[in-house]
Structure 1
Amino acid sequence: MKWQDLTTRELEAIDRATPLFLSIGAVEQHGPHLPLATDSLIGAYFLEELDRKLGDKVLILPQVSVGCSHHHMDFSGTLSVSHAAFQAYVAAILHSALAHGFKNVVLFNSHAGNQAVANLIAEEVGSTHPGCRIVLAGWWLLVGPELRKLREGVVGLDSHAGDLETSIVLHAAPDAVREIVPGAPLCTHTFDWASGDLLKGERATLYRSMHERTCGSGVAGDPTLATAAKGEAITGYVIEALADIVTDLTGAE
């Protein structure tokens, strides 16, 4: 179910234990082959598929499509808001949704740059609504073990517009993918403790813009390894993991 598609009377009749899902994404460069909306496209697609699978067992809030992307501002087209503005806005949406009596919220993130501030949002909202369950789920973290089996290429080098993200878009919106060319080498001359990607976390964080991190290519990974079949498999893993969260949240009532 989509929150914005319901009438006020229809929404009033929904079981308040029904989990709410809020997708937070980004509008930022994704190399020469993927659209600016890639992160938001991926988040919206996964929740569309979850809605298709579970129907009235979930309630999808309107997506927050622009996120925290200051580290991409060297590239044309990137949109970004401050962490403070993002935290205030997303938290306000959740506060207002919970004011209607709902008890379970899943903050569903599809942009790694949102993850830190999303943790703050979960803490703020959770502490304000002690009778509610607030879940933060980044899609790549949710299915890490499964992704490690699918991923090809050099471990530690697939964090942006590479194999995994390109595979998902090839499956979800193939017409949105432009010509795929090999990405330029990463600027790998950094400290070992600061090296990581979507599936291999950095042991300590060293701030670098995406332009600096990718030698100006905007691509961290090898998109030529991507396939629609791989994207379909990733989608299945993510939807299964989200469905498990729904079962756990509703079964615990």
Structure 2
Amino acid sequence: MSCDDICVQAIEVVDLAQQTKMVAELDGHIMRCVRDQNGNHVIQKCIECIPQDVIQFIVSTFYGQVVLLSTHPYGCRVIQRVLEHCDDPTTQQIMMDEILQSVCLLAQDQYGNYVVQHVLEHGKPHERTAIIDKLIGQIVQMSQQKFASNVIEKCLAFGNPVERQILIGEMLESTTESEPLEVMMKDQFANYVVQKVLETCDDQQREMILTRIKAHLNTLKKYTYGKHIVARVEKLVAAGEKRQGLQPACTAA
């Protein structure tokens, strides 16, 4: 067992006085620990287990560094723990302001996207709305990006009905050059976003989207990723037909 593992376990079991003494030894070494493969676990455990007033000197070290840490393989975990456990209004405001200033950059980053997803899934409604507002207008492009596509899926899953309608509307917009939905269905990442749309939309939206998709089914079958959409549509159509078939029997009963 490493020294870091021992330290993590100790933080969980010792009393507050001992925790305070242990944490004080980290002063001046916070950022180095955060970026360390083992040290970051110690910082995370401090944030999870020790009262905020005791670890405020740790958290305040992150002010002005949120984007930098969010794009780091270990730093992104620490930022998520702060968002989870530190409910101090000043800390929350600073963290969210820095995240919102760079939402598009973070969404496309291999580590930063997890921080944005965390806020979408666990954040307050107004924080979720603020992130979605920043992404509106770029939904189709983001959906075609490896990491950002996961963020868009979270927007669809956790956004409210009005926000979901806006996101879907952007995907269904037609231009003289191309239809975004068709482009997305053929894309290696965006096809999963289309599938998430079909999972999260209401019945009226689903019927409208299925009608648009069905016009492209034969073409989609020629594309590797388009086949995923074809399979999903066929499954939905079969399920709908099954429900309709059962309905008379249920009514008669």
TM-score normalized with structure 1 length: 0.23
Q: Which has the higher helix share?
A: 2
Q: Which has the higher strand share?
A: 1
Greater relative CO, 1 or 2 (CA 8 Å, sep 6+): 1
TM-score normalized with structure 2 length: 0.23
